[in-house]
Structure 1
Amino acid sequence: MMPRAELLKGIVADLRMAASFVTILPVASSKPAADGTVARATWALPIAGLLVGLAGAFVYKVAIRFGLAPNLAALLALATTALITGALHEDGLADTADGLGGGRTRERKLEIMRDSRIGTYGVCALILSFGLRWSALATISSPLAVTFALCAAHAAARAGVPAFMSLVPPARPDGLSASAGVPPGRSIAIAFAVGTLVLALALGPGKALVGLTLLSLAGLMLARLAIRQIGGQTGDILGAFEQVGEILILLVAAAFQMGR
Structure 2
Amino acid sequence: MVNQAQRAFHAWNVLIECAMARRSITYGALAIAIGIHHRPIRYVLGLIQEHCLTEKLLPLTILVTDRKGQIGSGFSAYDLNRLEEGLEAVYGFAWQAIENPFAFAADGSVYGGLINELATNPSSSGDVMRLVKSRGMAQVMFRDALLRCYDYRCAFTETSFVEGLEACHIVPWSICAPEHRLDVRNGILLNSLHHSLFDKDWITIDLEHRIWFADPEMTEEPYSAFDKMISVDLHLKKMRLPSKLALAPGAEFIEKNHADRGWCF
Is TM (by shorter chain) over 0.5? no
Task: Please identify which structure carries the higher helix content.
Answer: 1
- By relative contact order (CA 8 Å, sep 6+), the higher-ranking structure is 1
TM-score, normalised to structure 2, is 0.29
Look at both structures and tell me which one has the larger radius of gyration over its CA atoms. Answer: 2
